[in-house]
Structure 1
Amino acid sequence: MAVYTTLAAHELAALIGEYDVGTLISAKGIAEGVSNSNWLIETTGSDGAGARFILTMYEQRMDVAELPFFLDLLDHLAAKGSPVPRTIHDRAGASFRLVGGKAVALIEFLPGISVDRPTSAQAHAVGAALAGLHRHAADFSGHRANSLSLPQWRELFDGCGADGLASIDPALPALVAGELAFLEAAWPHHLPRSVIHADLFPDNVLLLNNAVSGLIDFYFACRDITAYDLAVTHSAWCFEKDGAFRAEVSAELLSGYGPLTPAETAALPVLARGAAVRFMATRAYDWLNTPADALVTRKDPMDFARRLAFYQQHGEQVFAV
């Protein structure tokens, strides 16, 4: 989440007036993340008791034609019982509107806290919630290809240029070249597929104590290898800020998710390396191309270079049956 676009108070009030959610009280920009503009919205509520929502304006890497997939998926998963926010439809029944040529959606606010350093019990709950998401999405009819799969990683790195990558770290160009060649040769294309979240970082999970109260920010969701979603989540949850691996968190995340097929288990080391490269790619590109005046926190791509190095050396042991 982030804020790239500024909306004046009267614009926000007029927009919220298109929904049956009461009168706007406040709107606070949310700085975390790198892709869309987001505000925490407070209103009087349709019954006068007060209500909170998340307002999202879609900015980068977003085709408006794909919005029905994302928003319908939220409603589908919420109806199935996944801890996912519902889309708030406007008075005309639309799940999104256009403001200044950009799409905006109002999303249910869910209670909970995103943790910086998850416990093993929390990781177990997240693994179970991710498995539940995959089960609940099994009969979802929407389709969206992964727009940030292996070919796009190369495109993003190419967009950075060797000099740009070297400005982040002198060793990065050679690391990227070698790992992309490996992944292009080793990627397991024939594993089971489903709708996946594809970005389940700790800041996209809300927790109340050790229970998952919300899975949020589905705007990279797509149909792809199901076990890749687990690999993405593993790469996001199982490391300290200094790069140290948290073995107990890893074990509980995998246990909470439940059994995989033998082929999926065997592929996890490669999928985890791919997950690390995916976030190296987007973070490197954003590091070099984020506008200087954007209300957004850039994220260091070298965090995932270190996780990649770990998976290269220890992935087989970590994911062994």
Structure 2
Amino acid sequence: MAVFTQVSKTEAAALLSRLNLGQLTDIEGCAGGIENTNYFVSTLRDGEPHHYVLTLFERLSFEQLPFYLHLMKHLAGKGIPVPDPAADARGEILHKLKNKPAAVVNRLKGRSELAPGASHCAQVGAMLARMHLAGQDYERSQPNLRGLAWWNETVPVVLPHLTPEQATLLQAELAYQNHVAASASYEALPRGPVHADLFRDNVMFDQGQLSGLFDFYFAGIDSFAFDLAVCLNDWCIDHGTGRPDPERSRAMREAYESVRPLTAAERELMPAMLRAGALRFWISRLWDWHLPREASMLKAHDPAHFERVLRERLEPL
């Protein structure tokens, strides 16, 4: 949630007024992520304070964004606690600000839990399964834009920045994932809309209870097993070493399966999906680390973390 594009109070106030969200009282740039420009905005409407998140999209296009925004609308309508995009008088939820795509969503209550226990992981697992089921009748379709095709395009770009040992590992794992993707078991994996980035900082808890999921701008149609693997690789590992935590991993998987049991193909390929999840974020962090963009509050993540996670997920020879 870095600030790439500066938005004035006047510009923000005009958009909020057009959306009938009240009079702007405060605007504050958000630090944290690295994809979009985000501001926390507060308004006064009918004498009551309201809180929103204003997002300007720096990489996603006007053509790509309806998938994400309408997915959030769809999930919110099914009772999943996600941000609900605000519509204008014509019912449009994708807006324009500073000649860039923009959206305004309600700000979720609570805070992120960056040191989760088994209870937090169980709640995330169950909610992820609920989200997968709720999205099955979503009619729009868009591939995971950070999936295998993007890995194949991006690895050659980051290879010159790696040590020979790192380059060997990266190329070997990419070859393995291409092999997996060509298998019949992979074709049998259940698919639908996935979050694909449900890390600790994208979930809110209020008094110990999960209160919201947000940042759906990496979502796409992909395997549910991959989405679960991404969560296991963040929520259920030791961040210092990248090693899986058995208790938290078990809590998340059991809670997920209490809502949506895994298929035989998903169970078979879960080790490969855990490796795929680690590879995806190692590649993207290498890309952001070595080929950064300017932003006034940019903080790129260290790619070494997901290199460690991948090494821990490799099956014994």
Same-fold status (TM-score > 0.5):
yes
The 3-state SS of whatever aligns with 1:242 is coil
Which residue number in structure 2 is paired with residue 201 of structure 1?
199
CA displacement at 1:20 relative to structure 2: 0.8
Deviations 1:259-301 (A, max 9, x none): 2112101100001100100001111101112234441211011
Q: Which has the larger displacement, 269-278 or 17-26?
A: 17-26
Between Structure 1 and Structure 2, how many residues are aligned?
309
The 3-state SS of whatever aligns with 1:145 is coil
Which residue number in structure 2 is paired with residue 176 of structure 1?
170
Which residue number in structure 1 is paired with residue 293 of structure 2?
291
Alignment of 1:153-164 (within 5 A): 153-160=151-158, 162-164=159-161
User: Does the CA contact (< 8 Å) of 2:30 and 2:40 recur in 1?
Assistant: yes
The 3-state SS of whatever aligns with 1:52 is strand
User: Does the CA contact (< 8 Å) of 1:117 and 1:240 recur in 2?
Assistant: no
- Distance in 2, matches of 1:214 and 1:229, equals 17
User: Does the CA contact (< 8 Å) of 1:74 and 1:84 recur in 2?
Assistant: yes
The 3-state SS of whatever aligns with 2:18 is coil
- Quick check: 1:228 aligned with 2:222? no
User: Does the CA contact (< 8 Å) of 1:22 and 1:48 recur in 2?
Assistant: no
Deviations 1:90-123 (A, max 9, x none): 2332102112221010001110110111110010
Q: Which has the larger displacement, 287-296 or 124-133?
A: 287-296
CA displacement at 1:305 relative to structure 2: 0.8
CA displacement at 1:209 relative to structure 2: 3.2
- Quick check: 1:310 aligned with 2:309? no
Which residue number in structure 2 is paired with residue 319 of structure 1?
none
Q: Which has the larger displacement, 93-102 or 299-308?
A: 93-102
User: Does the CA contact (< 8 Å) of 1:120 and 1:249 recur in 2?
Assistant: yes
Deviations 1:31-61 (A, max 9, x none): 111111101110112x22010001110012x
| Residue type at the aligned position of 2:246 | A
The 3-state SS of whatever aligns with 1:171 is helix
Which residue number in structure 2 is paired with residue 253 of structure 1?
252
- Distance in 2, matches of 1:293 and 1:195, equals 30
Which residue number in structure 2 is paired with residue 271 of structure 1?
273
Which residue number in structure 2 is paired with residue 130 of structure 1?
128
The structure 1 residue matched to 2:180, chosen from 175, 186, 198, is 186
Q: Which of structure 1's runs of 4+ aligned residues deviate more than 4 A?
A: none
Q: Which has the larger displacement, 209-218 or 271-280?
A: 209-218
Which residue number in structure 1 is paired with residue 108 of structure 2?
110
Please provide the CA RMSD for this pair. Answer: 1.6
- Distance in 2, matches of 1:51 and 1:13, equals 13
| Residue type at the aligned position of 2:15 | L
Q: Which has the larger displacement, 209-218 or 240-249?
A: 240-249
Instruction: Give the TM-score normalised by structure 1.
Output: 0.92
| Residue type at the aligned position of 1:192 | P
Deviations 1:194-238 (A, max 9, x none): 111111001111112332110101111111111111011111211
Deviations 1:145-186 (A, max 9, x none): 1111112112112222x32233xxx63211111111111112
- Distance in 2, matches of 1:207 and 1:147, equals 28
